[in-house]
Amino acid sequence: MSTPSDPTPWQSGATDAVEGRLHADAHRAVGGTLNLIREFSRVSQELDPTTTQDRIVKRLVFLSYDLQMHVAEGASEHERLSVLNRFFFDTHRFKCSAEPTRLTETCESFRLNRVLADRLGAGSVLSLIYAYLAERIGVRLEFVDLKPASFLKWTEKTSSKPRPRYIDMTRSGAILTDDELIETLHTRFKMLSICHANVLEPYAFENYLCDYLHDLKKSLVASGDPEHLLFIQDTLISYQPSNLQLLAERALLHRRIGNFKSALSDLKRYFAFHERSKSPVEFVSLYEELTQLLERHKTSIDVLD
């Protein structure tokens, strides 16, 4: 069984049966990306009950074993990335579902099970799959906050000093230098005010996950399924419990579903820290509607008594 400190099969030449290792590998973190994979899979399972979190994770683990068979023992990181690019973009034909400048994509582009089946997905999902596969062949990649572009950061170890490189997920894994990245951001994505220091800043996994959930929520608005939106909102709140804006937004969803008490409870917590005179009209209106509804309900009970 592999652990984070153990050599991967392409390094050691191990010939363990895939079946014997699959269950263990699919249920423990080989690296940080597997934790994100699990969470993305849990979300996909909630949105599509025909799939399961375990099935999605196992599919990715099998994909990683297939990739490892193509990597020569002793290959450099650059050579491993070249193999990964051919495997990911040419053999399996993964690609971004739309130009990265689009602000909203269909929810299928964010569901990990659909992306694995269709080989088509949002940049955030493709980046995660790519980073996980890279990790499984011994290459550590970092997420960078360059939305709406999709780049992964790779630190190339050179004879002089480590040099940052950036992998463009919308251009078949093209590897860019600092200057090439900034030029790309200026010309393709019109990011004229981007700070060079921000480009080099790694993106925390939790922030990456929350951004993914926000994007998924935007894509679900068109479907009109408040139960799915409520699930996403609950998940966001679990990661950002101090974000009171999320509570007020959840109140609107509770109102749509008919959970009046839950909606009022969320708004009471929200207004405990926000002045009503400075709050969005939709939150204030809903709070007044629910308090009036509660008062009428109490009056009805008093009459019956």
Tell me the three state secondary structure of residue 95: strand
Q: Pull the structure tokens for residue 41.
A: 């899979």
Mean pLDDT of the chain: 82
pLDDT confidence of residue 29: 35
The residue among 62, 55, 52, 63 whose CA lies nearest residue 22 is: 62
pLDDT confidence of residue 30: 38
Residue-wise pLDDT tens digits, 48-101: 989 999 999 999 999 999 999 999 999 999 999 999 999 999 999 999 876 544
pTM tops 0.75, yes or no: yes
pLDDT confidence of residue 263: 95
What number of CA atoms fall less than 13 Å from residue 184's CA on the CB side?
21
Q: Pull the structure tokens for residue 242.
A: 């101090």
Which residue has better confidence, 43 or 30?
A: 43
Residue-wise pLDDT tens digits, 176-221: 988 888 887 777 666 655 555 555 567 788 888 999 999 999 988 8
Q: Where would I find the H helices in the chain?
A: 9-12, 18-26, 32-47, 53-68, 77-85, 112-118, 123-136, 178-187, 196-199, 205-221, 226-239, 244-257, 260-271, 281-304
pLDDT confidence of residue 13: 38
DSSP labels for 206-233?
HHHHHHHHHHHHHHHHTTT-HHHHHHHH
Gap between the Cα atoms of 264 and 247, Å rounded: 10
Task: Report whether pLDDT(4) > 50.
Answer: no
What residues does each domain of the chain span? Answer: 9-199, 242-304
Residue-wise pLDDT tens digits, 231-279: 999 999 999 999 999 999 999 999 999 999 999 999 999 999 999 999 9
User: For a pLDDT cut of 70, what percent of the chain falls above it?
Assistant: 78
